[in-house]
Every structure is written in structure tokens, then in C-alpha cells.
């Protein structure tokens, strides 16, 4: 992984504060790079100067560098990724860095929830969660977590040679850029997911390697390194979308998602986007524990139940494999339609209807797999189709949408 080169630092402050020092430094036709300052000791050495906006220890010759890793995550938004991270998983970062005698490889473990930066005021000691892998020792590195920042002290880190070149009235600093660009190497990530989570699908997390977009850069003398690491989150995490199937009885227009709710769609009471239900829209549900209400997302039909989408979730109950859910399938008589009229995320008795009460006779498992936007906080897959009969005997068709909702501020 390559670093991003920073602009050369100009030591104009030294000229202003110590003119005598400036006169003693001669311009060199072919300057030799040195790891020690060429400025006389009567003036400040390079470790006294704030390089790349990082304040360094005054007069320090320590071989310890500070690595700051800022972690974040992004929703996969219905795009399959090899292994998105889960909120309850632990992430392991494995990194190799240059030392004065070669390289050192270490690993640090941190909770995936840190990527959401939802607890910026808390701090956690990660020292016991670090270990040096190469060379094989019992050494740990001092590490702390605060919000989404992981700060690690890299011991025995290589000092990047620095020299000063006098050009007219300015001082320009030269560094070994080849050393800077290779200061960190072999950066990789993996996660461990609790065994209690469902089996993996292309939208859900599993234990194994994780792909992260990461960039890093080092200060001019290598005393400070900043890394930015961004991870894909599974559908129910990191602002990703998660779905329930919804029935729309009238009209071909898209369902409106302009409300919010704390309904535990993925067994956690985050604030999520929610349909208005002003239209003739109902969520498809099943009362699994027979307590007369819809408790959480497990009693709806969606990707939250470890399926790619709600249509595939419902298709798992097609007993005779005819591509239709109807009275020939055992699930049909258990299906309910829920209209959350007051948007409180609680299914009162008067909000739940049976298939018979609503006149629904069949649900087709054929659907349009196109993803459409329903505003900034929802996406739709579909439509599919269901058949219902009015009290007058007229047979009509309604639309089935898989509404992918998301966490909102």
C-alpha cells in the first residue's frame, strides 16, 4: 500500500527566530542525507518542529512512532460484497512496519461498532488486544480506542533520514521518499463473527478476510502516520438497507417512505425510515410465537431473515413449488397484513388483518428484480403481484414491493 506524499516542509520559522543559525547552514550541491539534524544544537532540531500538522515531542530522539487509524463503514446498498462487517463482530488489523533493523508485524483487535463512531466520548484500552506476530515474541503495543480512532505506539520504528537544504532565504527539508512510501506494508483485515448469527449470504457477514479501502500517509520524519480504513457493512449495519415485503392494493405509483419508527426490524431498536401508510399499504407478516402481534423483523419477510430479499424469503414456503403462495401452501393461512396507522412500530390488534379478511387469494413469486430509489432513505425491489377479490366479487391485482429501509439520524 502506497502512502500519499506530502508537500515539503519549509522552515521559515527557524529563519525568523534564529538568524545566526541560518547563516551557519550552507547550501550543498549534493547534500548527503542524514538521520541527525545539520542545524547546530544551539537552535531547535527537526523534532522540535510541527511536521504535517503533527506536534512532535520536544527534543525527542525516540524511535517510537504514532499510528492513528480512523475506521468507518458504509452500507452495501444491495450490492453483494465478499464479506461485509457485522455490528457484533471483532475486526483484526494486521500491519507490517519498518523498524531500525528490518520489519515488525503486529495485529490489533477492535470492535466493529467503532466504525460507526457512535461513542466518541468513550475510550477503551486495546493494549491487551495487540500482539506482535513477527518476530514471534510476547510483546504488545500500547493502543487505545476513542470513538472511531485507534492510536497505536509503534516501537523500534525506523527513523526517516532528514536533511536541510538552504536555498536563498528559505530552508527546504529533504527526505527519503522511498522509505516513506514503504513505511507500512502488508496491510490486511479479518473479522470474527459470533457463531449465534445466521449462516452467511452475499449480503451478510461471516468469519474470514475483510476487504477494506484504506489509505495512509506519514509525516516527513515518520514520527506520525495516519491511516483511513473504510469497511463495507452488511445490509443491517453501517447505514445499509434491510427489507420487509409490503402489499399495495391500489395504484401503480411507488410506496412513500417519509416517516420514521423504532420498530426492531433487525432486533435492535435503531431509528429507521418507515412508510407513511397513508396509502393502502400493508407489511406481510406471520405471528411465529402466536402472541397476537408482530414482535420484530423475524416475523416479517425480508433480507433480515438471511435471504437476499423478501421475495426469496417468501419463496422458501412454496411447498408444492408452483411459484405461487396460496391455500395449497401451509404458510398461507398463517399470513397477516399489518398497517401501522400511527407509525409507532407496534402492531395493535386492529392493525392486523388475515388474508381472508383482505380478500387475498394468491401471491406470485415472480417479480422484477430491478432496484429503484424511494427517496434518500429507502430503496425498492419489485414489483411482484398478488391477487385479491373485492366483496362485490371483482378480482383485482395488487403490487408487492420489497421495501429496503435504513437507519436514519
pLDDT per position as a tens digit, 123-182: 899 999 999 999 988 899 999 999 999 999 999 888 665 555 555 555 444 445 555 678
Among 97-106, 171-180, 257-266, 281-290, the minimum mean pLDDT is found in 171-180
Residues 224 and 301 in one domain: no
State the DSSP code for 316: T
Q: Given this model, what pLDDT does residue 339 score?
A: 96
More confident residue, 273 or 78: 273
Domain of residue 342 covers: 241-406
Provide the b/e sequence for 329-367 (b: ≥16 CB within 10 Å): bebbeebbbbbbeeeebebeeebbbebeebbbbbbbbeb
For 310, the grid coordinates are: 423478501
Choose among 234, 262, 261, 188: nearest CA to 83.
Answer: 234
Mean pLDDT of 359-368: 96
Q: Among the three residues 192, 211, 233, which one is the final residue of a domain in this structure?
A: 233
Q: Is residue 331 part of a domain?
A: yes
**Is the distance from CB of 212 to CB of 93 less than 8 angstroms?**
no
Distance between CA atoms of residues 100 and 21, nearest Å: 30
Q: Given this model, what pLDDT does residue 163 score?
A: 54
More confident residue, 204 or 347: 347
Question: What angle (nearest 5°) sits at the alpha carbon of residue 274, between those of residues 387 and 240?
Answer: 105
Q: Given this model, what pLDDT does residue 180 score?
A: 65
Residues 150 and 299 in one domain: no
Choose among 189, 128, 121: nearest CA to 149.
Answer: 121
Q: Is residue 87 part of a domain?
A: yes
Distance between CA atoms of residues 114 and 120, nearest Å: 9
Q: Is residue 165 part of a domain?
A: yes
Distance between CA atoms of residues 230 and 222, nearest Å: 23
**Is the distance from CB of 254 to CB of 89 less than 8 angstroms?**
no
Q: Is residue 5 part of a domain?
A: no
**Is the distance from CB of 193 to CB of 298 less than 8 angstroms?**
no
pTM of the shown model: 0.55
pLDDT at 286 over 80: yes
Residues 212 and 260 in one domain: no
Residues 41 and 95 in one domain: yes
Total structural domains in the chain? Answer: 2
Q: Given this model, what pLDDT does residue 150 score?
A: 96
Q: Is residue 168 part of a domain?
A: yes
pLDDT at 25 over 90: no
Q: Given this model, what pLDDT does residue 303 score?
A: 77
Residues 369 and 387 in one domain: yes
Q: Is residue 122 part of a domain?
A: yes
Residues 299 and 200 in one domain: no
Distance between CA atoms of residues 13 and 49, nearest Å: 9
Residues 280 and 158 in one domain: no
Residues 291 and 266 in one domain: yes
Mean pLDDT of 238-252: 83
**Average pLDDT score over the chain:** 78
Residues 165 and 273 in one domain: no
- Which residues, 6+ apart, have CB-to-CB distance to 217 below 8 Å? 3, 4, 5, 6, 52, 225, 226
Q: Is residue 3 part of a domain?
A: no
pLDDT at 29 over 50: no
Question: Please, is 61 exposed, middle or buried when counting C-beta atoms within 10 Å of its C-beta (0-12, 13-18, 19+)?
Answer: exposed
Residues 255 and 384 in one domain: yes
Q: Is residue 217 part of a domain?
A: yes
Q: Among the three residues 233, 265, 282, which one is the final residue of a domain in this structure?
A: 233
Among 75-79, 145-149, 215-219, 385-389, the minimum mean pLDDT is found in 75-79
Residues 100 and 245 in one domain: no
Question: Please, is 158 exposed, middle or buried when counting C-beta atoms within 10 Å of its C-beta (0-12, 13-18, 19+)?
Answer: buried
Q: Given this model, what pLDDT does residue 374 score?
A: 84
Percentage of the chain exceeding pLDDT 90: 44
More confident residue, 178 or 246: 246
More confident residue, 10 or 304: 304
Q: Among the three residues 202, 233, 264, which one is the final residue of a domain in this structure?
A: 233
Choose among 212, 177, 222, 149: nearest CA to 2.
Answer: 177
Q: Given this model, what pLDDT does residue 144 score?
A: 95
Question: Please, is 394 exposed, middle or buried when counting C-beta atoms within 10 Å of its C-beta (0-12, 13-18, 19+)?
Answer: exposed
Residues 71 and 189 in one domain: yes
Amino acid at each position: 500500500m502506497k502512502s500519499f506524499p506530502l508537500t515539503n516542509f519549509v522552515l521559515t520559522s527557524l529563519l525568523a527566530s534564529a538568524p545566526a543559525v541560518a547563516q551557519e547552514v550552507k547550501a550543498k550541491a549534493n547534500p548527503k542525507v542524514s538521520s541527525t539534524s545539520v542545524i547546530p544544537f544551539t537552535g531547535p532540531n527537526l523534532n522540535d518542529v510541527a511536521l504535517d500538522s503533527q506536534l512532535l515531542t520536544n527534543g525527542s530522539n525516540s524511535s517510537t512512532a504514532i499510528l492513528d487509524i480512523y475506521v468507518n463503514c458504509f452500507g452495501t446498498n444491495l450490492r453483494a460484497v465478499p464479506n461485509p462487517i457485522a455490528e457484533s463482530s471483532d475486526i483484526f488489523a494486521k500491519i507490517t512496519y519498518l523498524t531500525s533493523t528490518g520489519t515488525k508485524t503486529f495485529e490489533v483487535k477492535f470492535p466493529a461498532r467503532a466504525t460507526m463512531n457512535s461513542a466518541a466520548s468513550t475510550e477503551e484500552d486495546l493494549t491487551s488486544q495487540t500482539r506482535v506476530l513477527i518476530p514471534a515474541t510476547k510483546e504488545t503495543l500500547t493502543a487505545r480506542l476513542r470513538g472511531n480512532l485507534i492510536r497505536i505506539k509503534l516501537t523500534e520504528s525506523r527513523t526517516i533520514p532528514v536533511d536541510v537544504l538552504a536555498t536563498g532565504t528559505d530552508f527546504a527539508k529533504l527526505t527519503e521518499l522511498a522509505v516513506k512510501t514503504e513505511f507500512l506494508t502488508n496491510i490486511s483485515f479479518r473479522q470474527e463473527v459470533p457463531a449465534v448469527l445466521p449462516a452467511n449470504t452475499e449480503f451478510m457477514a461471516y468469519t474470514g478476510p475483510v476487504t477494506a479501502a484504506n489509505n495512509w500517509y506519514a509525516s516527513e520524519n515518520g514520527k506520525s502516520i495516519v491511516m483511513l480504513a473504510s469497511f463495507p457493512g452488511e445490509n443491517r449495519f453501517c447505514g445499509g438497507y434491510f427489507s420487509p415485503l409490503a402489499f399495495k392494493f391500489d395504484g401503480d405509483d411507488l410506496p412513500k417512505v417519509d416517516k420514521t419508527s423504532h420498530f426492531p426490524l433487525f432486533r435492535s431498536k435503531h431509528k429507521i425510515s418507515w412508510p407513511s401508510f397513508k396509502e393502502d399499504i400493508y407489511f406481510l407478516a406471520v405471528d411465529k410465537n402466536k402472541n397476537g402481534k408482530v414482535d420484530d423483523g423475524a416475523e416479517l419477510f425480508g433480507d433480515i431473515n438471511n435471504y437476499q430479499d423478501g421475495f426469496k424469503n417468501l419463496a422458501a414456503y412454496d411447498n408444492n413449488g408452483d411459484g405461487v403462495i396460496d391455500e395449497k401452501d401451509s404458510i398461507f393461512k398463517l399470513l397477516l397484513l399489518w398497517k401501522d396507522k400511527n407509525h409507532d412500530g407496534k402492531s395493535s390488534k386492529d392493525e392486523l388483518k388475515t388474508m381472508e379478511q383482505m380478500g387475498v387469494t394468491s401471491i406470485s413469486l415472480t417479480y422484477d428484480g430491478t432496484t429503484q430509489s424511494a427517496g434518500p432513505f429507502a430503496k425498492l425491489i419489485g414489483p411482484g403481484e398478488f391477487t385479491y377479490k373485492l366483496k362485490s366479487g371483482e378480482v383485482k391485482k395488487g403490487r408487492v414491493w420489497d421495501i429496503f429501509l435504513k437507519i436514519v439520524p
